Amino acid sequence: MMSNDPGADGYPMDSVARWPAADIAASWQRELPGVRTEAIEINTPLWRIAKVLADDRRRTLARLGVDPSTLDLLSVIRRSGPPYELTTREITRRTLITAGAVSQRVARAERAGLVERSPSPASRRAVSVRLTDVGHALIESTVRSLLEHEADLISSLAAVERSALAGLLARLEHALTT
């Protein structure tokens, strides 16, 4: 957890917001008059929050005994619904990672007894990957714990604020990725 003890600058010593984005923007406006700084007050907090959330997720997954790539693989299969089986091509499409990376993840998960591979009925060249009972139990318990914890992380926002923020972030993400 972070310390709330103030440092010499008056901000908490371990605070992710040691330098408020508004102060950074004002400093650049002073130093480079006319430069556009409106992105600083959006991007800087997003970068800081992303780092805090990513670090927290890594620690949480380590505590739960699951690495991020295994979580990703098992999650995409579990979210597919019964019979909790996808081809490696479908996993590649849904996870946006390379076929080689999918193959490595599947091999690791198979060695751990979390998934099993079999020829796909869809194509003789395709391989299906199915959750085992152990993999199913692991992803369910992990996701329940992880999502409960991550819901606690955003609990300082009211439901209407979370909804508004989700909408704004989705709009920005769409604008940046299309």
What's the length of the chain? 178
Please state, in angstroms and rounded to a whole number, the distance separating the CA atoms of residues 47 and 54.
10
Task: Give me the phi and psi of 175, to 5 degrees please.
Answer: -65, -35
pLDDT single digits (tens) 26-77: 999 999 999 999 999 999 999 999 999 999 999 999 999 999 999 999 999 9
pLDDT reading at 13 higher than 50: no
Yes or no: say if 80 and 86 are a contact pair by the CB < 8 Å rule: yes
Q: Between the CA atoms of 100, 78, 111 and 87, what dihedral angle is there, to the nearest 10 degrees? A: -40
Evaluate whether the domain defined by 66-178 bears CATH number 2.60.40.1930: no
Residue holding tokens 């599947």? 106
Q: Which residues of 27-51 are buried (b: 16+ CB within 10 A; e: fewer)?
A: eeeeeeeeeebeebeeebeeebeee
Please state, in angstroms and rounded to a whole number, the distance separating the CA atoms of residues 72 and 75.
5
**What pLDDT, on the 0 to 100 scale, is given for residue 15?**
53
Yes or no: say if 102 and 90 are a contact pair by the CB < 8 Å rule: no
pLDDT reading at 7 higher than 70: no
pLDDT reading at 8 higher than 80: no
Give all strands (DSSP E) within 37-101, no chain letters. Answer: 85-87
pLDDT single digits (tens) 134-177: 999 999 999 999 999 999 999 999 999 999 999 999 999 999 99
Domain boundaries, the chain: 1-64, 66-178
Q: pTM of the entire structure?
A: 0.79
pLDDT single digits (tens) 82-96: 999 999 999 999 998
pLDDT reading at 9 higher than 60: no
Residue 5: exposure state from Cβ atoms within 10 A (0-12, 13-18, ≥19): exposed
